[in-house]
Amino acid sequence: MSEKPWNGRFQEKTNVAVEAFTSSIEIDKRLFTQDINGSIAHCRMLAKAKIIDKSEAESLVKGLTEIREKIEKEEFQFDDSLEDIHMHIEDALTQRIPESARKLHTARSRNDQVALDTKLYLKEITEQVIKRLKDLRQAIVNFAEKHLDTVMPGYTHLQRAQPVLLAHHLMVYYEMFSRDAKRFEDGLKRLDENPLGSAALAGTTYPIDREYTTRLLHFSKMTANSMDAVSDRDFILEFLSSASICMVHFSRISEELIIWSSSEFDFIELSDAFATGSSIMPQKKNPDVPEIVRGKAGRVFGSLMTVLTIMKSLPLAYNRDMQEDKPPLFDAADTLISCIDIYVRMLPEILVKKENMLSAASKGFLNATDMADYLVGKGVPFRDAHACVGKAVSYALGENKELHELSLDELKTFSGMISGDIFECLTVENMINRRMSDGGTARENVKTAVSAARKELGKE
């Protein structure tokens, strides 16, 4: 292997233990494509600015392309003594074309190089996440459309509250993941700035053309401050923040699928292809996929906290601490994408037990609020109506009956305003369809929401 780039200053060789300790190659070697693309753009800019000859630039581009192909074919050897992907590629290039390769690092530093590589990587990942979230939202809309007539109990405090359509419940997650997509889209705007040319921290004395590399690398603009460019990791923090919020949503839907698939709820059954069994209990069918997704949320949260802690109190500009930003970033990105992909596959295979959902929505006094609303319609103040219905519920509990199972004479003992038309208000179907307020669970509302979501997805 070649000597270290800084050997001119040092009298002793780097201790092998230090080489192993400071090496990041096992992590950042996945940035080889971005590193080579950045080097090619830098090389072409150097030639355009007449800092190197055009012929040298052509040979450098050819050499870099060959190195990329060798890495892609897994024929490239990595070594701790070269620390990172930047030095590996530079060393391989130097072995091919020694004189020209020694000029490639003119007007740049590993500081702006690593910022560039990470931004190029994160741009690609963010775009992938946005696309995959669209696939997930499409799967949710498809699921919801199949269940525009499926009634289930809605919950607060994990207690049955009011009946809703399953489609309405599912569309909650469409809204959550739509907000996630918008967060990633918004972060992409701030991420889309080219740091190349900032060098170590102060810029460079060479007549470089940063606008040119910005165009070559498909950034929308270049960074405005060289010190900020090499020390900024806000774009990583923002991605991890968005990923963490997204994983909160995955954890919530996972929790619900786990609960719904339990014997106590028995609302759904996961496909055998997306469940596992027990090593000791033959009867078990475990919701392992949503459980693992729920657990993976902690990994992504941990990645965010790791990078927040790394960046806390770092003085300007670049510090080697920042090498530790990539393991949590890569892990969080991989984790998020794997969770999206598995859900896109799993959701269409879920069996919904409609009868069990409807039965649950028909018990537990879910029509109590509707009885109070009925009394309000008769001129009773809401607080008085609330108290009246509370007494009726207490009585019905003692009789082991639901409100709609009480006789008209029994109901009249709680209010003289009650007449025979009350029973229409207490049916599950009417309870749902009367909730026509914007965003409510009435079937026409939910049908319109599903249709609007389809149009929105079609425009993206």
Q: Are 310 and 322 in contact (CB under 8 A)?
A: yes
Catalytic one of 55, 262, 278, 451 = 278
What lies within 8 Å, CB to CB, of 177 at 6+ separation is: 133, 136, 137, 140, 246, 249
Give the pLDDT confidence score for residue 7 in this predicted structure.
66
Catalytic one of 157, 313, 407, 437 = 157
> Is 278 among the catalytic positions?
yes
Q: Which structural domains are found in the chain, ordered by start?
A: 16-106 (1.10.275.10), 111-148+161-356 (1.20.200.10), 363-459 (1.10.40.30)
> Is 218 among the catalytic positions?
no
Give the pLDDT confidence score for residue 20 in this predicted structure.
75
Token digits for 235? 């774009």
Mapping DSSP onto H, E and C, the string for the chain reads CCCCCCCCCCCCCCCHHHHHHHCCHHHHHHHHHHHHHHHHHHHHHHHHCCCCCHHHHHHHHHHHHHHHHHHHCCCCCCCHHHCCHHHHHHHHHHHHCHHHHCCCCCCCCHHHHHHHHHHHHHHHHHHHHHHHHHHHHHHHHHHHHCCCCCEEEEEECCEEEEEEEHHHHHHHHHHHHHHHHHHHHHHHHHHCEECCCCCCCCCCCCCCCHHHHHHHCCCCEECCCHHHHHHCCHHHHHHHHHHHHHHHHHHHHHHHHHHHCCCCCCCEECCHHHCECCCCCCCCCECHHHHHHHHHHHHHHHHHHHHHHHHCCCCCCCCHHHHHHHHHHHHHHHHHHHHHHHHHHHHHHCEECHHHHHHHHCCCCCCHHHHHHHHHHCCCCHHHHHHHHHHHHHHHHHHCCCHHHCCHHHHHCCCCCCCCCHHHHCCHHHHHHCCCCCCCCCHHHHHHHHHHHHHHHHHC
What lies within 8 Å, CB to CB, of 174 at 6+ separation is: 137, 140, 141, 144, 453
Question: How confident is the chain (460 residues) per 10-residue block, as mean pLDDT?
Answer: 62 77 89 98 98 97 97 94 92 95 96 98 98 98 98 97 98 98 98 98 98 98 98 98 98 98 97 93 94 98 98 96 97 98 98 98 96 95 96 96 95 94 95 96 98 96
Q: Give the global pTM.
A: 0.93
Q: How many CB atoms lie within 10 A of CB 441?
A: 24
Q: Are 367 and 153 in contact (CB under 8 A)?
A: no
**Max CA distance (Å), the chain:** 101
Token digits for 276? 């596992």
> Cα–Cα–Cα angle for 55, 65, 233, nearest 5°?
105
Q: Which residue is associated with the tokens 């498809």?
A: 142
- Bridge-based pairing of strands 351-352 and 193-194 is unpaired
Angstrom distance (rounded) from CA 240 to CA 128: 15
Distance of alpha carbon 97 from its chain centroid, rounded?
Answer: 43
Q: Which residue is associated with the tokens 């997930």?
A: 136
Token digits for 13? 């060789």
Q: Using CB atoms within 10 Å of the CB of residue 145, give its burial: 0 to 12 exposed, 13 to 18 middle, 19+ buried.
A: middle
